[in-house]
Amino acid sequence: MNGVVQALPKRVKVCEMGPRDGLQNEARSVDAATKIRYIDLLSETGLPVIETTSFVSPKAIPQLADAYEVYTGIAKRTGVVYPVLVPNAKGFARAREAGVRAIAVFTAASESFTKRNINMSIDESIAVFAPIVREARAEGMWVRGYVSTCFGCPYEGPVAPSKVAQVSARLAELGCQEISIGDTIGVGTPNQVLDVVTALARALPLERLAMHFHDTRGTALANVTAALQLGLATFDSSSGGLGGCPYAPGASGNLATEDLLYLLHGMGIETGVDLHRVREASRFISAALEKTPTSKVYLAPERWHKTG
């Protein structure tokens, strides 16, 4: 890395989080039919990955208790990957019953958050995930691993980049094809992106990384720009800026997909995603939630929006 700015990627993969990270943290629940319509609208946008729901405990996340109905109800568009969150063997069994083809396991770089979020230590989570990832890969599923609290923990404060790299490498060794690096509470700044990515680059190939920024303090786009300059080319975002994690006090939504697309397309980076259509999906789900999206681009005049 040596502080050298890389050529910007020509194309970026955008992973949509709205139906999962978004809806898990909305106080108002929407019914399965509304979720299905929302995901079907997102499927028409060109997004390559749409995280669909979570097979977690309905006591932990009541908003996504209808995971089976939603997953089996959506129209699966050829070429689009529809991952679901799986925290344990029970979740994996439920996901399999629903016929999922892509899963995401999730842990964190800090012990306190891991405990509050999934009631396990980091070591325990890796032990629980090992057979799940092995079986999923043997069945030809696509597997992602999340590392939360990579830029700060709501309970422990600062988190060492070396710890982020260590947990990420363990998930990669289990067989996770992509590792998503979460700024769960949206505290990161671009200098930290450099520190975290530099530590990660020593542990695993950067092509396997995705960056998952929450925009709690308005730094997500600056962080994306820093990551692009380091050669990263996969980013998570949620339409309209929905979302957050209920086990991270004060966490707000993911970086909005509209805002990410505007930045990327303006920089001449292709995504294959139609910003106008994402906006229509955000309009639909916002009406159901009776809230105005936080996305700045959603709220701005559309004549400036480029396709990508």
Provide the binding-site residues for ligand HMG, judged by CB under 6 A.
21, 24, 54-61, 85, 87-88, 90-91, 94, 106, 117-119, 146, 148, 182, 184, 212, 214, 245, 247
Q: How many CA atoms, within 13 angstroms, populate the side-chain half-sphere of residue 182? A: 28
From the CB of residue 195, how many other CB atoms can be counted at a distance below 10 Å? 18
User: DSSP 3-state assignment of 241?
Assistant: helix
Enumerate binding residues for Mg ion (CB under 5 A).
Answer: 21
Q: Which two tokens stand for residue 271?
A: 């995504």
Nearest-angstrom CA–CA distance, 155 and 147? 16
Least distance from C-beta 5 to ligand HMG, angstroms? Answer: 27
Of the pair 85, 275, the CB lying nearest ligand HMG is at 85
The amino acid that residue 43 corresponds to is S
55 binds, among ligand HMG, Mg ion, none (CB under 5 to 8 A by kind): ligand HMG
Nearest-angstrom CA–CA distance, 88 and 226? 34
60 binds, among ligand HMG, Mg ion, none (CB under 5 to 8 A by kind): ligand HMG
The residue with its CB nearest to ligand HMG is 182
Of the pair 12, 56, the CB lying nearest ligand HMG is at 56
Of the pair 142, 247, the CB lying nearest ligand HMG is at 247
Of the pair 85, 264, the CB lying nearest ligand HMG is at 85
User: Out of 150, 153, 176, 245, which one is annotated catalytic?
Assistant: 245
52 binds, among Mg ion, ligand HMG, none (CB under 5 to 8 A by kind): none
Q: Which two tokens stand for residue 227?
A: 């990551």
C-beta of residue 187 within 8 angstroms of C-beta of residue 154: no
Burial class (CB in 10 A: 0-12, 13-18, 19+), 183: buried
Least distance from C-beta 85 to ligand HMG, angstroms? Answer: 6
Of the pair 145, 308, the CB lying nearest ligand HMG is at 145
Could you tell me which residues come within 8 angstroms of residue 269 by beta carbon, excluding any fewer than 6 positions away? 8, 9, 10, 11, 12, 228, 308
91 binds, among Mg ion, ligand HMG, none (CB under 5 to 8 A by kind): ligand HMG
118 binds, among ligand HMG, Mg ion, none (CB under 5 to 8 A by kind): ligand HMG
Least distance from C-beta 47 to ligand HMG, angstroms? Answer: 17
From the CB of residue 33, how many other CB atoms can be counted at a distance below 10 Å? 13
Task: Write the CA distances from 270 to 234, 279, 308, integer angstroms.
Answer: 12, 18, 5
The CA R_g of the chain, rounded to the nearest whole Å, is 18
146 binds, among Mg ion, ligand HMG, none (CB under 5 to 8 A by kind): ligand HMG
Could you tell me which residues come within 8 angstroms of residue 53 by beta carbon, excluding any fewer than 6 positions away? 19, 20, 35, 64, 66, 67, 70, 71, 84, 85
245 is catalytic: yes
Of the pair 17, 305, the CB lying nearest ligand HMG is at 17
Catalytic residues: 245
